[in-house]
Amino acid sequence: MRVEDIVKKKGTDVVTLTSDSTISQLLSTLSKHSIGAVVVVDNDQVVGIVSERDVVRRIAETGSVDGQVSQIMTSDLETCVNSDEIQTLASKMTERRIRHLPVMDGDTLVAIVSIGDVVKSRLDDLEAERDHLHGFVHG
């Protein structure tokens, strides 16, 4: 199974903000869309990702959510492509403690996958395999 299989099921909607958005705007966006991370895009170029973890870290360090997304985002961005294998992706996310990865096609943002999407995909595969084996044994 590949990233493209997750994207086909999940869709290609990606919530984005610009780097000059405020952290308060970020929190509002995360809450409104019930998501844990937002891709940061300036001039149609992906420049980073920012998550609820980044906000928590900011509050712990400064006691405030004042400031801009650019101050807390991760700009050394890990990404994936549609052809990446899910198992490889799961290992990468686990080893690097990453919960969200933008899916890129060259310089174009096409989707985002979360560790939850990866786990759900794997569970769906296991259920399908179980059903197949059950049918084979009892069929």
What does pTM read for this prediction? 0.86
Domain count, the chain: 1
The 45-51 sheet, strands edge to edge: 16-17, 37-42, 45-51
Secondary structure class of 73 (helix, strand, coil):
coil
Weakest mean pLDDT among 9-13, 26-30, 78-82, 134-138: 134-138
The rounded percent of the chain whose pLDDT value lies above 70 is: 96
Look up the CATH number of the domain holding residue 102. 3.10.580.10
Residue spans of alpha helices (H) in the chain: 3-10, 23-33, 52-62, 86-95, 115-138
Instruction: Look up residue 41 and give its two tokens.
Output: 């895009």
Dihedral (CA of 101, 107, 111, 117) sign: negative
Q: What is the tens place of the pLDDT at every residue in 77-115?
A: 999 999 999 999 999 999 999 999 999 999 999 999 999
Instruction: Look up residue 96 and give its two tokens.
Output: 């690097």
Give the domain extent around 47.
3-138
